[in-house]
Amino acid sequence: MSATRSIDQVKLDEFMARFVGDLGAAISAALVVIGDRLGLYRALADGEPVTAQELARRTGTDERYVLEWLSNQAAGGYVSYDAERETFSLTPEQSLALAQEGSPAFVPGAFQLATALTKDEERIGLAFLDGRGVGWHEHHHDLFRGTERFFRPGYATNLISSWIPALDGVQERLEGGALVADVGCGHGASTLLMAEAFPRAEFVGYDYHPESIEHARKAAAHAGLSGRVSFEVAPAKEYPGDGYDLVAMFDCLHDMGDPVGAAAHVLETLTPEGTWLIVEPYAGDRLEDNLNPVGRVFYGASTLVCTPASRDQEVGLALGAQAGEARLRTVVTAGGFTRFRRATETPFNLVLEARP
């Protein structure tokens, strides 16, 4: 029989306060998605104070539901409330984060991703019992769109301005007309950002998920880039072609069942002076290095989507979203690369360069 352990009331109170905050955030996640989809945030973007009735009229929604939604958002600090006038508004900072898609601080996509994963809780729970995999393609469709919207602000802020310039000689090759493969491209956000910035280069995006490739093709056509950007269905170990000056993988290497095999294939398809750009979630090499709010987000996503996705494929190495630079180096060099370095970083990303 285990000895009775005493309870520190102060520590218990601290934990319960944290729990209340987490529970409120968890419940409110669905309300952020609803506000985003119904245009409630966008209708508040100008910062003008409105009543619930006025916001409901602007958005064609029901006043009673809107009042309850606004009250939740004000309690969480996502919307501002003027008690004297009984009006609600967005500050410039709240508007930038919640109402302006394309801004570097836009967050609703993250909540769309998170709520999509909670819809798969039962399936992932069953996988805990037998170790089975759950493929990326098996998740709720909001995961695919939410992932694009979650990662796009970071890519738009950093990819052209700092990540590519940090690579040895890559920007010059792109400006001169390089051939680029964006592997695991999803909806093609990273591919299109590069194509817009480097009009002399040619880009091919590859992903094993047909629905994502179809979305990427439509996005390329809408952007007027179909002439030198194409998207094809292909897994990371089998994408076609060779002679690529740059192969890029954004936040996907850790999802692969056989990342060593993927690395070997990248090596086969690069030119002798080519570069492999690997962007991965920021992580230290030890578990204790990642016990922080960012690590919590990434470990949660890794448990619900990244590890199951890898387990669904051959080998099933399951690097996880917090693999860290040392493990990634081991994978890349095992695939045959001889040069590997951290080119740069952000609070959310490791930006790695590998060369033959």
Residues of the chain scoring pLDDT < 50:
1
Q: Are 44 and 32 in contact (CB under 8 A)?
A: no
* Residues of the chain by 3-state class (helix, strand, coil), percent to 5: 50, 15, 35
* 4-63 confidence digits (pLDDT tens): 789 999 999 999 999 999 999 999 999 999 999 999 999 999 999 999 999 999 999 999
Q: Which amino acid is present at 82? A: D
User: Considering only CA atoms, which of 259, 208, 253 is closest in space to residue 349?
Assistant: 253
The reply to whether 9-97 and 152-355 are identical in fold is no
- Residue 313 in tokens: 């494929």
pLDDT recorded at residue 2: 54
> Could you tell me the residue ranges of all domains in the chain?
9-97, 152-355
Query: What's the Cα-to-Cα distance from 249 to each of 29, 196, 293, 296, 327, rounded to whole Å?
Result: 29, 18, 25, 23, 16
CA distance 262 to 239: 10
**Domain 9-97, what fold?**
Arc Repressor Mutant, subunit A (1.10.10)
Q: Angle at the Cα of 93 (from 90 to 97), degrees rounded to 5? A: 90
Distances (CA, A) of 59 to 42, 50, 101, 108, 281: 9, 12, 18, 18, 37
Token couple for 236: 């990371």
The confidence score (pLDDT) of residue 1 equals 46
Q: What is the pLDDT of residue 3?
A: 62
**Alpha-helical regions (H) of 5-62:** 9-37, 40-43, 52-59
Say which CATH architecture domain 152-355 belongs to. 3-Layer(aba) Sandwich (3.40)
What does DSSP assign to residue 50?
B
Distance in Å from the first CA to the final CA of the chain:
59
